[in-house]
Structure 1
Amino acid sequence: MAGRTFEQWQVGDTIAHAITRTVTETDNLLISTLTHNPQPLHLDHEAARDSEFGKPLVNSCFTFSLLVGVSVGDTTLGTLIANLGYEEVKFPKPVFVGDTLSCETEVVALRESKSRPNAGIVTWEHRAKNQRGEIVCTMKRSALVRKDKA
């Protein structure tokens, strides 16, 4: 089991995830078409050329999902009962095809579950950075995580 149980977390624990990912045009095309997002800034090179960015932006849903996905192996793989929510999702810098993203996670809160004695709630702040060290996405994620078996 790669993920941690509730008792194995402490506020302030920080993980630099080993997985990095260079974003491809296919990534951007697939997330945009799978979610029926016709935004020309993601799909139309000519329209994007006339934008302030001068080229297509990667769909932020991809950036968000990649950040969560990369974190799973080190956080909740095998220990997750349920994701409870995402808060304060921000995209301070754009992501472009060819950017290589790295991710890190920090525990910002812990509490016992009031309704489930076998679980606790962990809140993480996830952050993604591009190859220049610029933060491109941040969010808080809360999850119900199982406790060690007594």
Structure 2
Amino acid sequence: MLYLEDLNVGDQFKSREYEITLAEVLDFAQKYDPQVFHTDPEKAKDHPIFKGLAASGWHTSAIVMRLWTECFPVAYGLIGSDSSLRWPRPTRVGDKISVEVEIVSITPSKTKTDRGIVSYITQAKNQHQDVLLISTTKIMVFKKDFDKV
């Protein structure tokens, strides 16, 4: 597990690959984002932007969350305080998604000396190195002795 003292600006973390399947694209879309370009491979072919079935951006984000938890093991979890994200390219069935995280700032709390805010940039890429998601995220990270303060 990583604590605030273990992290430095410029630290990088890389995940394993995760292959997205047709079944999970359709299942996620039916439950959470039921738009035709996510739910119907035939009708999606006629979409003017996607020109084929595309996974929901929220599905891609959920996969990124899973990969974050595996490659960026922050003590007591990834407790988010802010995030912005973009999906520059659609995620497609068969894409092998991996994430790269880079810490860009660390700000110790002035009022709660047992923690700080860590900002990092994530790029989720497919097997061709196409960027599918870019996010800037801030999380709260505790110091090793936070429960003693």
Q: TM-score, normalised by structure 2?
A: 0.88
Compute the displacement of 1:75 (Å): 2.2
Q: C-alpha offsets along residues 56-106 of structure 1, whole Å, 9 cap, x if unaligned?
A: 11111011121122012332443337311212x111111110111111100
1:108 aligns to what?
A: 104
1:11 aligns to what?
A: 9
CA RMSD of aligned residues (A): 1.7
Gaps of 5+ in 2: none
1:41 aligns to what?
A: 37
Gaps of 5+ in 1: none
1:138 aligns to what?
A: 134
After TM superposition, the runs of 4+ consecutive aligned structure 1 residues lying more than 2 A away are 73-82
Compute the displacement of 1:16 (Å): 1.7
Q: 1 CA distance for matches of 2:97 and 2:78?
A: 28
Match runs of 1:108-127 below 5 Å:
108-127=104-123
2:56 aligns to what?
A: 59
Q: Which has the higher strand share?
A: 1
Q: Which has the higher contact order (CA 8 A, sep 6+)?
A: 1
% identical aligned pairs = 25
Q: TM-score, normalised by structure 1?
A: 0.88
Aligned pairs, number: 145
Q: Does the 8 Å contact 2:68/2:99 carry over to 1?
A: yes
Q: 1 CA distance for matches of 2:75 and 2:41?
A: 41
Give secondary structure in 2 for the equivalent of 1:80: coil
Q: Relative to structure 2, which stretch is displaced further, 97-106 or 69-78?
A: 69-78
